[in-house]
Structure 1
Amino acid sequence: MPVPALQKPAPVFKGTAVVKGQFKDISLTDYKGKYVILFFYPLD
């Protein structure tokens, strides 16, 4: 996975997210042209 850098676009990635209580495959390109906040939570 590419390393993110300050003041640069986020690297393109794919992952699984919880959306409205359901698991959903997402990609950063799904949100192109929109403001996005990436929140990562490590599993306990």
Structure 2
Amino acid sequence: MAVLTGKKAPSFKAKAVVSGGEIVENFSLDQYLGKKYVILFFYPKDFTFVCPTELHAFQDRLNEFEK
């Protein structure tokens, strides 16, 4: 798989959870273009090893992301 770090994400719309739990039915990265930093996090599926491990790591470092 090619390294995607630093590459522009494609335009898309999807259901998403944002801002501490708000569920957005039609989320689009385009709405944040040039306005904010965005962390886009995907995981393979629920109840897999990466899901709890990575999500807890993000939560543990939330203060660092908010700086």
TM-score, normalised to structure 1, is 0.58
RMSD: 2.4
Q: Structure 1 runs of 4+ off > 6 angstroms? A: none
Residue 21 of structure 1 corresponds to 21
Higher-Rg structure is 2
% same residue:
52
Bigger strand share: 1
Bigger helix share: 2
Q: Which runs of 5+ in 1 are unaligned?
A: none
Q: Which runs of 5+ in 2 are unaligned?
A: 48-67
Higher RCO by CA contacts (8 Å cutoff, separation 6 or greater): 1
